[in-house]
Structure 1
């Protein structure tokens, strides 16, 4: 394989390898770092590539093991917990997955899962699914992604992880059971991306949020709605708890004479907003808000308090 064809190969698979690393690591920053290691390892290993596996499977083997090595050697890179400028209400619970970052839709690959995949492309990138993967053991997460997201059969996954199909089957069964315990309860199907239904609820949210209309915001929430704010561990569950946080935040902004501007975008296959705080003589980033619509309401809001 010449350098030119290697560069062509990298171009063909770079995006999906980045998503693969992101699913396993939960952090786009870490995924980008590990992807560079993957590409370097692939370049150095060209002489040992004998074509017994497809180039795609060969690259996924390298990427999966580099992610597992990073988690074993470095562990999760836990960000510092930010100090809010106001005293937030007591959270409903504290999340341990504070390293979670959003993934821009603009970086998503245009690929379809294999025939044995159990998740659609949209389900497999949603924030709730990525967060659930972080709560599995690294090898369980790797097997679940390779088998149930990418559609690789057990016999192909086993050599990727230097083990047997029987061992992979056991890991997969445990991973499926664990991820179901961590996933959200069954909810109404989300509206189609860009549909009139999605645009309506997103527009109502933006108008109410920028106007500090907490009552309208609460009316958009399901009874099981939750709000998270990585890298802070605070989570608020249920409309009452979410409303208490939103009122405290809105009161602080009003006291500081701040307005908020929202710019629509998309993250993790979901509608999102990049926010800016506007003062009398300055602007500063306010982070990202990713919405999880379900039917004609919102099931979750994830406020990322850092820039990406």
Structure 2
């Protein structure tokens, strides 16, 4: 029996009697999954970090409200969800529009690997866990109003019963079911066509080969070769810069206008975020005498083609644990 299970069997008086250090130690066991939950709600790694801290603070201050009718873990999820809704009400009262999310940030796979194993490793559960952390899902869910967003994540991602979600939100079961239907309709409107249903993982070997070819072409700034790997309706965004570009010709034209063909000689380091392949690029800086960070490209691949490119700025390099620079002779 784990320490968490033992805690969940204690009554509220024992929880209330804990000192802060003991309480924090038990709550910390749930940090990563709460952080991912808040990230799905908010789309921002940094906002999720702040909200988890707020969750633990509220839980400590309100520990006497834990009545043992649910698990300690579920109680923390309730607090975290309400903390997310409060933050959204203050910072972003309106959902995203126009197919882009300017506050979107990546989530490193190395941190996602800290999540508890999916119960039973069932294929459908694994697919839900993987695909609801992809950037396409995050972008789509940010277009939902906050409360339907919470309903969707609690019901479809976490698998909560409608009654539990209704209790959390102070709504009726009928209201929750209605909100869920609206949220699912909104997701169908904003998700890419091939993500309307759970699709599972595509052939990893084929994807790795495509990423390898994309890496070689991008280091050489070979836009003609890159174009052959992009699907006709490829989507490109660069948060927090405003603007979503759709279509191979439009994307390539934007990159050419931005001076990309003159950047031959880049170095790329393979990484992974949001369960998607990503490439961290470095460019030679004469003053530094080294290759310095420039951008991170996150790729979505469907049917053997690149269907989405999301570029993040170099300020995300530390989050991904990437090198501060590459030396002239260093192999990427």
Give yes or no for TM over 0.5: yes
Structure-2 separation of matches of 1:184 and 1:118 = 20
Q: Deviations 1:89-130 (Å, cap 9, x if unpaired)? A: xxxx96552111111111211342799979611111000100
Task: Give the equivalent residue in structure 2 for 1:105.
Answer: 109
SS at 1:180's partner residue?
helix
Q: How does 1:144-293 map to 2 (within 5 A)?
A: 144-186=152-194, 191-192=202-203, 195-251=204-260, 253-254=262-263, 259-282=265-288, 283-293=291-301
| Comparing 68-77 and 162-171, the one that deviates more | 68-77
Q: Deviations 1:191-239 (Å, cap 9, x if unpaired)? A: 35xx322210111110000111111111111122111111111222111
After TM superposition, the score normalised by the length of structure 2 is: 0.80
The one of 21, 24, 27 aligned to 1:10: 27
Task: Give the equivalent residue in structure 2 for 1:86.
Answer: none
Q: Deviations 1:138-196 (Å, cap 9, x if unpaired)? A: 0011000000011111011111112221111111111011111111112786535xx32
Task: Give the equivalent residue in structure 1 for 2:8.
Answer: none
- Higher helix proportion: 2
Structure-1 separation of matches of 2:151 and 2:126 = 13
**How much has 1:294 moved relative to structure 2?**
1.2
After TM superposition, the score normalised by the length of structure 1 is: 0.86
Task: Give the equivalent residue in structure 2 for 1:41.
Answer: 58
Number of residue pairs aligned between Structure 1 and Structure 2: 289
SS at 1:299's partner residue?
strand
**How much has 1:69 moved relative to structure 2?**
0.4
The answer as to 2:80 corresponding to 1:63 is yes
Q: How does 1:19-34 map to 2 (within 5 A)?
A: 19-34=36-51
Gaps of 5+ in 1: 79-92
Could you say what the CA RMSD is over the residues aligned between the two structures, in angstroms?
Answer: 2.6
